[in-house]
């Protein structure tokens, strides 16, 4: 993988940052984009500066995403892209304002599409690559308070399937990774004590994941040598949540 570029949106914290750290350890060059400039500064101190690049980026800005990806493609082979930027809200469907619903779709879905489209064009010209969209188990199953977030992540999963079909002839694989609850800054903001207790009651493993527990699957899906025949899939890394049935008592 030495010298290949991995572009990561939402890469300055949480799952995105954990993927960047793991990718550097496996020989990638990491290009980290995030709209949180304070988080970007912290990421600069955490990642190898000789093999990392950092950019302030709003993933809903079409022209900015196109420029960023074009610059990466010009600096080396863009072999991987991860759409990890996302926002969430825990609001009942009947209380969800339309503006909030639109904003969550704009960031989570349109932002993922813009990165995947730009990366797909660059990879098509370079002979292939892998695109990974970070979805969620909330896109696989309904969850209370997740009308907007769940809809956005379900759409991300379908987007990955459609792009996998269209880009396979170009040697480009596209998959969706569906984490369960992970201890990230976003989850810390959205999951209050009641929400956390509900998740823990329904998780067979009875705990949230650390971001580093999501990265092995992410790196596997990006590595042509390990997953070269795997595309169009939505893979849950969720402590058993998506596949669980009747749960045993907690005491």
Active site members: 149
Please tell me the distance from the alpha carbon of residue 172 to that of residue 166, in angstroms, as a whole number.
9
∠ CA(56), CA(60), CA(61), 5° rounding? 65
* DSSP string for 156-222: HHHHHHHHHHHHGGGTEEEEEEEE--B--HHHHHH--HHHHHHHHHH-TT-SPBPGGGTHHHHHHHH
Q: What spatial distance separates the first Cα and last Cα of the chain, rounded to whole Å? A: 47
Three-state DSSP class for residue 85: coil
Q: Residue 37 pairs with which residues in a beta bridge?
A: none
Which DSSP category does 196 fall into? H
Q: Considering only CA atoms, which of 163, 103, 106, 100 is closest in space to residue 133?
A: 163
* DSSP string for 228-247: TT--S-EEEESTT-TT--SP
């Amino acid at each position: 993988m030495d010298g290949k570029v991995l572009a990561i949106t939402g890469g300055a914290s949480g799952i995105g940052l954990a993927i960047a750290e793991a990718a550097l350890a496996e020989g990638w060059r990491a290009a980290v984009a995030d709209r949180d400039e304070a988080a970007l500064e912290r990421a600069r101190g955490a990642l190898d500066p000789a093999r990392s690049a950092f950019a302030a980026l709003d993933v809903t800005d079409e022209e900015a995403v196109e420029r960023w990806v074009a610059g990466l493609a010009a600096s080396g082979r863009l072999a991987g892209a991860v759409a990890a930027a996302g926002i969430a809200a825990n609001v009942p469907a009947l209380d969800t304002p339309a503006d909030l619903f639109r904003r969550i779709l704009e960031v989570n879905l349109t932002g993922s599409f813009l990165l995947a489209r730009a990366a797909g064009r660059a990879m098509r010209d370079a002979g292939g690559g892998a695109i990974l969209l970070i979805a969620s188990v909330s896109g696989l199953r309904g969850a209370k308070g997740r009308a907007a977030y769940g809809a956005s992540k379900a759409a991300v999963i379908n987007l990955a399937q459609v792009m996998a079909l269209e880009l396979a002839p170009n040697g480009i694989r596209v998959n969706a990774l569906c984490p369960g609850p992970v201890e990230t800054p976003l989850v810390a903001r959205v999951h209050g004590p009641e929400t956390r207790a509900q998740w823990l009651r329904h998780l067979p493993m009875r705990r949230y994941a650390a971001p580093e527990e999501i990265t092995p699957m992410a790196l596997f899906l990006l590595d042509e040598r390990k997953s070269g025949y795997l595309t169009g899939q939505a893979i849950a890394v969720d402590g058993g949540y998506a596949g669980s049935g009747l749960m045993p008592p907690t005491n």
